[in-house]
Amino acid sequence: MNSPSRRARLTAATIALPLATALTLSGCSTHVGGAVDVAFLPQTSPAVGDLDRVKWSLPQEPAVLDPDAVSDTSASTVLANVCDRLMQVQPDLTTQPGLASSAEWTDDTTIKFILRPNVRFHDGSTMDADSVVWSLQRHMAEDAEESDEYGNVESVSATGPLEVTVKMKQRDAIFLQAMAGNGGIIFSPSAVADAGDNFGGPGSTDACSGRYRVGEWKSGTSLTLNRFDEYWNTDRTAHTQRILFTWADDDAVTNSLIGGEVQGAYLGTAAAAVPLLGNSDFTVAQGPATNAWSLIPTRSGLLSDVRVRRALSLALDREGVARAGFASLATPAKTPLGEGAWGYERDAFAAADEQLEGAPAKPSADDLEAATSLIREAGDEGKELVVASDGQPVRNVIANSIASAAKKIGLSPKIIVVPPQQYGDFYSDEALRAKADLFSDEYYISKNDPVGFYKNAASTAGLNYLGFNDPAVDAMIPKAKAATDETARAALAIALQNKWNDAMIWIPVVETPTTLAMASDITGAVASAAYLYYPWAADLGAARKDGEGK
């Protein structure tokens, strides 16, 4: 499922049959400020020792630990360590078998999952085909948060004690990827029933089978996970006994890291890591993600005209945004999707990205002249462009950059400020969207396949606020979803990307990798977007053996 900046979902990577090629990202670095290199890699170095407790910060308190009710970033960061899925995303954003030892297309519309034996839930019950069927049907219920992952599912049935068969309306390559995300979590039906309406809340059982189980949840204060020592996979034991979660915004997290109140965090804004750079007491790393900030036009104003959208894109200083808003820990984007989405056929996607035009990193004089001509052609010289911000630092930088670009090409910009707690309503409130020509947000997808994003170009897509309608695109999307041959799917994804770019349905700004900050005495955490689905806490441990120095 796609998600906006509440950071609800992120890369549940490719389930490849065969497995997709791993991203070759280790050993790279991002240069910051001309002085400090930030490692760019899937995972930090392995732990060499065990710990009793690690203190970790979340961006906010989880609303509820039930992904079918609400699936915010904080909840997913916790549940990644608590709940197993049918398939499991890896730090490099590939996928390996999880609770399913295998997944096989037996014909064009049938998938067979073979389940692992002797998997024990935290409540003591044992996973079988019936519990898997129950869980998948819960996810696909009409009002469930994960139901959109099941749009092509016709039926789910137990066809053996440890065998589940899913019948599809059509072949759907993306569905298998979704089983590595929250839509693939398997619950104990009896534990969910026993918890009743309080399931997922403080004091409730977690009903899962993961490496950690939910312990004490002090509402408003902290949440503790305890290692589950009866975990089914005995090949690897979690290094840390307990994870203590607290929550704070990025500025407070940085101060808490410096003050020693917490030992690690996945930062919502890369720029928050700047005070830690170059300090040997801390590790800062970035990793692959599908995240990108974009300008999202509405149909109510000037940006309903594609010429104005193209003009604004040509005039936007993306390098300036990356520098001022993200301390150069973000990169100018040509598409509204980070490179972490390239889970297959990377060379093809990279070549297609290189050829894209209309979204320069820094506009040239020719770009500005072309943009000004487009505004004149549209007859919009001097007209007001209304830009929505929430007053927060990153959006202020983006809003001011838009205003600067607009002035240079003959528009009259106006910035309106919407309270942060209401800003997310732009996605659901048509009346609010009518008050602005565009709003900005960070967006990402729950699988590393561009098709999972470009499906939003469909004329019926909920995020197609412009009402973009191209019959060729509508016909191409189901073909792309059904193409299990990776070369064919990449070609269709690139064609959809080009259509999106031509129409500038959203205007890309910057790509934002995952940013991890930790005290230097711990290590092992993933640095990629996999942290929302992979049991990253199980890899956390001591960076040095007892008695070793820094």
Pick the CATH number of 2-287+514-542 from 3.40.190.10, 3.90.1150.10, 3.40.1440.60, 3.40.50.2000: 3.40.190.10
* Helices within 140-273 (DSSP H only): 173-178, 189-195, 250-259
Q: Where are the domains of the chain?
A: 2-287+514-542, 292-511
Query: Pick from 504, 373, 356, 516: which is nearest to 438 by CA?
Result: 504
Q: Is 104 helix (H, G, I), strand (E, B) or coil?
A: strand
Two structure tokens written together for 135 = 């869980």
530 vs 12: CA distance, rounded Å: 7
* Pairing, β 522-523 against β 292-297: unpaired
CA distances from 265 to 285, 412, 541 (A): 11, 40, 15
Q: Is 349 helix (H, G, I), strand (E, B) or coil?
A: helix
111 vs 97: CA distance, rounded Å: 14
Query: Pick from 188, 106, 103, 199: which is nearest to 144 by CA?
Result: 199
Tens of pLDDT along the chain (550 residues) come to 555 544 333 333 322 222 222 333 334 444 444 445 789 999 999 999 999 999 999 999 999 999 999 888 999 999 999 999 999 999 988 888 999 999 999 998 999 999 999 999 999 999 999 999 999 999 999 999 999 889 889 999 999 999 999 999 988 888 888 999 999 999 999 999 999 999 999 999 899 999 999 999 999 999 999 999 999 998 888 999 999 999 998 889 999 999 999 999 999 888 899 999 989 999 999 999 999 999 999 998 899 999 999 999 999 999 999 999 998 999 999 999 999 999 889 999 999 999 999 999 999 999 999 999 999 999 999 999 999 999 999 999 999 999 999 999 999 999 999 999 999 999 999 999 999 999 999 998 878 899 999 999 999 999 999 999 999 999 999 999 899 889 999 999 999 999 999 999 999 999 999 999 999 999 999 999 999 999 999 999 999 876 454 4
Fold match flag (2-287+514-542 vs 292-511): no
Q: CB–CB of 537/266 below 8 Å?
A: no
In the block, residue with structure tokens 């911000």: 389
Pick the CATH number of 292-511 from 3.40.50.620, 3.10.105.10, 3.40.50.300, 2.60.120.380: 3.10.105.10
531 vs 90: CA distance, rounded Å: 9
Q: CB–CB of 241/226 below 8 Å?
A: yes
Q: Kindly state the greatest CA–CA separation across the chain.
A: 72
Q: CB–CB of 453/445 below 8 Å?
A: yes
Q: Is 77 helix (H, G, I), strand (E, B) or coil?
A: helix
Q: What is the pLDDT of residue 550?
A: 45
